[in-house]
Chains A and B, each alone.
Chain A
């Protein structure tokens, strides 16, 4: 079965607000997670990653939080912009394979 999945299929956020996209995983052996952004008609684009020995990692306007106790990770986008509108996938990397979740569509309301 699927080991990486998302809670909500669509998230609508007002421009300027913060966005939080959630993801659950089931494989407790997973030790490396990645968030990807996919704009319409394009390939997945790496946003940020995190290893299981960390619980938080920050990038430019993005933060990933990992809670290993409940097997949950989240992507926080600060000051959401129209250009952030896309589908966001969490993914886990095991060996040389990236397994994607089903995705959350982020809609930014101007």
Chain B
């Protein structure tokens, strides 16, 4: 079964540093997403991306965050000047076409970010 892959699986970074989380969506998918899950809490939407631009973003996704599709396979989430409260599991997801009835959104296994 096709899968979304994410790297790294776990990253520890110092407060104030920049972090890049990487994702390889499923190859024929066109819609990409980032979600995050703080330990013990629900999964929260961050951003959706289509046709090389952001389709929608949540209030969490402020200027500290950015996404990019630098080539034909990778989709990255950059977090600038990390804060302690950025510690969370970050999930990449993809779907094609947009996540609608019958078109499943697939999630990666997540990248666990710890800010110290």
Contacts and interface: CB of A to CB of B under 8 A. Distances in A.
Interface of A: 32, 38, 41-46, 49, 51, 89, 93, 95-103
A43 B43 CA distance: 10
Contacts of A49: 101-102, 104
Interface of A is mostly: strand
B38 to A, nearest CB: 12
A89 B33 CA distance: 18
A96 B55 contact: yes
B75 interface: no
B65 interface: no
Given A89-B42, A103-B42, 16 more contacts: A41-B109, A43-B109, A43-B110, A44-B107, A46-B105, A46-B106, A49-B102, A51-B101, A96-B48, A96-B55, A96-B56, A96-B99, A97-B56, A97-B58, A99-B45, A100-B42
Contacts of B108: 43
A62 B72 CA distance: 37
Contacts of A101: 42
B106 to A, nearest CB: 7
Contact of B48 (A44, A45, A89, A97): A97
Contacts of B4: 43
**What are the 6 tightest A-B residue pairs by CB atom distance, in nearest-first order?**
A43-B107, A100-B43, A96-B48, A102-B42, A100-B42, A46-B104
A95 B44 CA distance: 15
Interface in B69-112: 91, 93, 98-102, 104-110
A46 to B, nearest CB: 5
Interface in B28-66: 31, 33, 35, 41-45, 48, 50, 55-56, 58
22 contacts: A32-B101, A38-B43, A43-B4, A43-B108, A44-B107, A49-B102, A49-B104, A89-B43, A93-B99, A93-B101, A95-B56, A96-B31, A96-B33, A96-B56, A96-B98, A96-B99, A97-B48, A98-B99, A99-B45, A100-B43, A100-B44, A101-B42
